[in-house]
């Protein structure tokens, strides 16, 4: 694996509120291969032909096989690791999502990267909740392939 080009913003747990409103990234590009799509289809049981059937997808509105939208969401961790690192937390968890949209498809073999904006930082008992708007950009694309508000929690 190659060394990432992006250097993450490093912030301590107690300094999280100072990141509100800040943009992060973008991350390095990542190729979404047909093998990635096939493995995701097998793992989730979602074998919709738009994802896995080359002949079907060729005659679709997209003209090719496309990645599952939920596959985009599932690869957020390595992208976020390139965008930021929270130090001083005993544990960080994905608490959920507020809003998710897939404005454009991700064709098999395409490259995506992510950028983020820290929308909210709210104090919790023993830590902080962060709402992070993550936008996945498609290389050469006009629209993002995914825009999601992740709710993350960091505890002491």
Q: What is the mean pLDDT of residues 3-17?
A: 85
Name 1's Cβ contacts closer than 8 Å, sequence gap at least 6. Answer: none
User: Band of the pLDDT at 5, cuts 50, 70, 90?
Assistant: low
Architecture of domain 9-31+68-155: Roll (3.10)
Domain boundaries, the chain: 9-31+68-155
pLDDT in tens, 99-124: 999 999 999 999 999 999 999 999 99
**pLDDT above 70 covers what percent of the chain?**
97
pLDDT in tens, 17-47: 999 999 999 999 999 999 999 999 999 999 9
Question: pTM of the entire structure?
Answer: 0.92
**Res. 1: pLDDT tops 60:** no
The dihedral built from the CA positions of residue 91, 9, 105 and 146, taken in this order, carries a sign that is positive
Rounded Cα distance, 151 and 149, in Å: 7
Q: Residue 96 forms beta bridges with which residues?
A: 151
In the chain, DSSP assigns E strands to 9-12, 23-24, 30-32, 84-87, 91-101, 110-124, 127-138, 146-155
């Amino acid at each position: 694996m190659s060394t990432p080009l992006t250097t993450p913003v490093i912030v301590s747990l107690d300094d999280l509120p100072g990141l509100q409103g800040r943009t992060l990234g973008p991350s390095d590009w990542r190729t979404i291969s047909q093998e990635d799509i096939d493995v995701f289809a097998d793992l989730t049981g979602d074998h919709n032909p738009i994802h896995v059937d080359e002949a079907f997808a060729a005659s679709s509105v997209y003209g090719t096989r496309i990645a599952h939208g939920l596959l985009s969401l599932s690869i957020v961790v390595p992208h976020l690791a390139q965008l930021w690192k929270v130090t001083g937390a005993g544990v960080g968890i994905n608490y959920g999502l507020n809003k998710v949209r897939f404005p454009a498809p991700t064709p098999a073999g395409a490259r995506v990267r992510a950028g983020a904006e820290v929308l909210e930082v709210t104090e919790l008992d023993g830590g902080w909740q962060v709402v992070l708007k993550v936008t996945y950009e498609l290389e050469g694309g006009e629209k993002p392939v995914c825009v999601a508000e992740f709710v993350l929690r960091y505890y002491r």
